[in-house]
């Protein structure tokens, strides 16, 4: 049986969004991307967006308080009852603990954390390529460097957090998207 309450963990550019989209199509569960939700809030000019914008433009993390609120609201919606793919949340120890607490309250604990592993040169190559195509405001060289640093310092320790809980599967995430998709499928079975 395939796990359905999932978290994709990985550095900026590791392919969390790309692989989450494939999983949701296959499993019929929602993708919960705090990055996408925050970008939508910035574009709509909401209070959440106003609180998030400056940190996002610098490649820093948005405050735990804002992000946990956004994630909790989304996870409590009906379509997440049968499973979900978390993409970009949690990113700090406090967020991981808040997620555990909220899922425990809902009686739907996380089943698997897939860590996508890609070397830094390839990550930077991917993001600079996307910068030329999509023009995302945080895809410039200086901000990308900061996002990598923030990932290493604040998010990478979550690999150990999920390993200790027996939920971690590490997946080599360089190469063709379809091959990585197959490796993830195996990691979920
Ligand atoms: P977020 O939107 O989560 O950005 P990120 O983690 O930097 O992730 P990316 O979207 O850059 O990469 P990805 O791993 O999803 O890869 P993707 O599939 O897109 O967060 C943005 C900001 O929001 C944060 O910096 C922070 O400020 C804030 N934020 C969000 N969540 C937060 C939280 N929980 N707490 C606090 N702040 C938060 O792929 C990247 C590129 O590579 C694409 O062009 C893709 O086509 C390409 N690609 C993918 N796979 C491959 C492959 N196998 N080969 C070649 N190219 C590939």
Residues 132-144: tens digit of each pLDDT = 899 888 999 999 9
**Which percentage of the chain shows pLDDT scores above 90?**
96
**39 and 55 in contact (C-beta within 8 Å)?**
no
Domain residue spans of the chain: 5-182
Kindly list the protein residues whose Cβ atom lies closer than 6 A to any atom of ligand 1.
Answer: 10, 12-18, 34-35, 38, 55-56, 59-62, 67, 88-91, 95, 126-127, 130, 138, 147, 177, 180
Containing 21, the helix (H) or strand (E) segment is helix 16-27
The ranges of the chain with pLDDT < 70 are: 1
Residue 2 confidence (pLDDT): 87
The active-site residue out of 4, 97, 136, 169 is: 136
Q: What is the pLDDT of residue 1?
A: 67
Q: What is the pLDDT of residue 135?
A: 85
Please tell me the predicted confidence (pLDDT) of residue 166: 98
Is domain 5-182 classified as CATH 3.40.50.300?
A: yes
CA distance linking residue 51 with residue 73, whole number of Å = 17
């Amino acid at each position: 049986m395939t796990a359905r309450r999932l978290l994709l963990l990985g550095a900026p550019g590791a392919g969390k969004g790309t692989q989450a989209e494939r999983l949701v199509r296959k499993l019929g569960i929602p993708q919960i991307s705090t990055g996408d939700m925050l970008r939508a809030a910035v574009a709509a000019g909401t209070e959440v967006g106003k609180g998030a914008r400056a940190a996002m433009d610098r490649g820093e993390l948005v405050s735990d308080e804002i992000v946990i609120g956004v994630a909790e609201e989304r996870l409590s919606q009906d379509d997440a009852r049968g499973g979900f793919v978390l993409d970009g949340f949690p990113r700090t120890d406090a967020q991981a603990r808040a997620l555990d607490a909220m899922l425990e309250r809902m009686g739907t604990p996380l089943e698997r954390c897939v860590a996508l592993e890609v070397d830094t040169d390839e990550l930077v190559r991917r993001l600079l390529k996307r910068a030329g195509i999509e023009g995302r405001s945080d895809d410039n060289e200086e901000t990308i460097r900061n996002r990598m640093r923030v990932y290493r310092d604040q998010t990478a320790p979550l690999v150990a957090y999920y390993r200790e809980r027996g939920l971690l599967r590490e997946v080599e995430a360089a190469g063709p998207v379809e091959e990585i998709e197959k490796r993830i499928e195996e990691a979920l079975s």
